């Protein structure tokens, strides 16, 4: 197969196992909520007002999610962004599964404002501490959390060009 055919939609790309591909992010959402609960429990009565507000927002989001048949990536992204803010407020290093971080980063990259897309356009984005990468072109990299926060507009630190091999 010629090289250009590999990049066409619905082309005859090499087959690989895609049995775990789905549109319901419930398991990943539940994991994020669990991680947020662990952070909240660790805060105890010492939680700041912003931390309490974030934890309450995540509880509300969790209740809303239970009424849905499927959890879309949009809702997963909201939960992840609130969880990252809660972890930052609590001075805790967030635990984020590779699959969750990659899905959220891809979603945020697709809906990012023009200023952020101007930085990432024409590049592949790679997490330095997780097993995900998407896009084509020269590679820009950052930690998974750093990439997500930049794509969400919560950080002014853009991903950096990957070192030349």
State residue 33 phi and psi, 5-degree precision: -60, -40
CA distance 94 to 154: 16
Mean pLDDT for the chain overall: 89
| pLDDT surpasses 70 at 14 | no
Strand partners, 125: 134, 140
Could you tell me what percent of the chain has a pLDDT over 90?
71
pLDDT beyond 70 at 124:
yes
pLDDT above 60 (res 148): yes
H helices present in 7-157, as ranges: 26-43, 49-66, 73-89, 98-111, 114-120, 144-151
Q: Residue 39's pLDDT is what? A: 93
- First vs last C-alpha separation in the chain: 28
């Amino acid at each position: 197969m010629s090289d250009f055919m590999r990049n066409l939609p619905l082309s005859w790309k090499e087959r690989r196992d895609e049995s775990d591909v789905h549109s319901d992010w419930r398991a990943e959402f539940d994991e994020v909520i669990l991680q947020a609960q662990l952070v909240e429990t660790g805060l105890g009565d010492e939680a700041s007002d912003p931390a309490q507000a974030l934890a309450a927002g995540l509880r509300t989001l969790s209740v809303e999610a239970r009424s849905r048949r499927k959890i879309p990536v949009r809702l997963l992204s909201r939960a992840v962004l609130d969880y990252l803010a809660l972890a930052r407020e609590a001075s805790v290093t967030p635990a984020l599964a590779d699959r969750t971080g990659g899905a959220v980063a891809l979603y945020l990259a697709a809906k990012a404002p023009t200023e952020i897309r101007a930085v990432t356009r024409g590049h592949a984005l790679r997490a330095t501490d997780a097993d995900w990468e998407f896009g084509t072109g020269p590679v820009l990299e950052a930690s998974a959390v750093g990439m997500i926060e930049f794509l969400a507009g919560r950080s002014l630190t853009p991903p950096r060009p990957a070192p030349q091999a």
